[in-house]
Amino acid sequence: MAGGFGTNEMGKRAELYEGRVTGYFVMACLVAALGGSLFGYDLGVSGGVTSMDDFLKDFFPKVYRRKQAHLHETDYCKYDNQLLTLFTSSLYFAGLTSTFAASYVTRKRGRRASILIGAVSFFCGGAVNAGAMNIGMLIIGRILLGIGIGFGNQAVPLYLSEMAPANIRGATNQLFQLTTCLGILVADGINYFTAELHPWGWRLSLGLAMVPATLMFVGGLFLPETPNSLVEQGKLEEARRILEKVRGTNKVDAEFEDLIEASEAARAVKHPFRNLLKRKNRPQLVIGAIGIPAFQQLSGMNSILFYAPVIFQSLGFGSGASLYSAIITGSMLVLGALVSMVVVDRLGRRFLFLEAGVQMITSMIVIATILALKFGTGVLLPKVDAYVLVICICLFVLAYGWSWGPLGWLVPSEIFPLETRSAGQSMVVCVNLFFTAAIAQCFLASLCHLRWGVFILFAGLIVIMSIFIALLLPETKKVPIEEMSFLWEKHWFWKNVVRSSEEEAA
């Protein structure tokens, strides 16, 4: 739970931690994890809304006319419209900007404050989008939603990792991914029904974003701050009281001492972002702040989630069938998250990353092959091939659901020491949302011009991602956060980098 520089004393003291899983701990984590539902709901709802004819007629008539005209162009190009993709990606550009403000709030005011701000902003964004009369209002609403996601994604993974004991930190942190997946699934279900409510069904889909935001805000009012944050703010008595309540015992001396030492080290760092760039923090910077969040999006997963209804509709499914197919993929994502929660603290992070890599690469190659051989201009894909394609997409989503989806948030949140944790998480969110926005903005154009080749591109990127994990990421399962620095000192590559920084300091 604690963070810090990982001195020998702290390493020995970690063995003395006591406690159990309490109802108080469970409720706090469940409430905080609602932050994932905001992110998930938007991921699910935006793709479905952009395939609804009523929405397209009101805001993107050119796309609607192209869709209805059955022009003699490749089926990949029917939705290639940069203004349409800007509707989706504007949220993520707003999120990556706001996460730096969230870093300050999270560090100075606490994780709970960022969670509450995120809920309020997301609520306002949902309200503006539901009542949008023009594209300008749509974009303003998306920006407010993005600010909400920027604050929520910055604070929630940190909150969950800091509250959890080391032996179940993986499963606890993955509550964020589970609620994200459930948010996607709920959004897909809502889109399925609202698509039949003409002409205002899309407004209901976008407006219902206010529901998870309200639940998160109300729950957040009763949410305890993490002991780590309270110690960081100098509230030692309250920090110890919360720690005892979370652990279910008053024998928390060892863990509390680690919190105090880590906090003292953190206070000595006046410029956490600058400190993150130091050589001693190079493993966390390369793996946690840049590599994993970038690769999480470069896998191609969010592209499939954003435009799954569009993809299935282009394959010849009706509007209702396309949304039904999106519900299937959402279900696979939830199933993958549940599997990951069960096995992540037993099989480990590396195993899930590497096994899923093989499954995802295989799925992408099969998808590309079918599209290359069978998918032409204006001709519907044969049903057998279409079903094989849907199965491969589901297998891809399932693998992502137990690997890069949850682990992309878990691993970065557990490897940063306290003095750079808030800054590091802001970098994680910024990089993640930057690549999310870039992929969202470029995917349909890439699909139009590269056609089936875009899936080969993603397969190649997943090969690189898997090699990155195999070579550079040590296993972090059941390792207390305060002992993470020992992993770098023992790693075949990072030990030379870390030792060089110690020699420079000496």
Positions of the chain with pLDDT under 50: 1-11, 71-74, 506
Residue range 117-153, pLDDT digits in tens: 999 999 999 999 999 999 889 999 999 999 999 999 8
Q: 């001195």: which residue's tokens?
A: 7
| pLDDT for residue 255 | 85
Residue 261: count other Cβ atoms within 10 Å of its Cβ: 21
Give which of 290, 277, 297 is closest to 433, Cα–Cα: 297
| pLDDT for residue 214 | 94
Q: 């606490």: which residue's tokens?
A: 110
Give which of 140, 133, 142, 146 is closest to 59, Cα–Cα: 133
Q: Structure tokens of 462?
A: 């997943």
Across the chain, which distance is largest between two alpha carbons, in Å? 73
Its pTM stands at 0.81
Answer yes or no: are the C-beta atoms of 322 and 313 closer than 8 Å.
yes
| pLDDT for residue 437 | 79
Radius of gyration, CA atoms only, the chain: 23
Residue range 438-465, pLDDT digits in tens: 877 777 677 677 777 888 989 999 999 9
Treating both helix axes as pointing N-terminal to C-terminal, what angle do 404-415 and 135-163 enclose, rounded to 10 degrees? 60
Treating both helix axes as pointing N-terminal to C-terminal, what angle do 253-267 and 236-247 enclose, rounded to 10 degrees? 140
| pLDDT for residue 8 | 41
| Sign of the dihedral through C-alpha 234, 236, 238, 242 | positive
| pLDDT for residue 6 | 38
Which residues neighbour 346 within 8 Å (Cβ) at sequence distance 6 or greater? 477
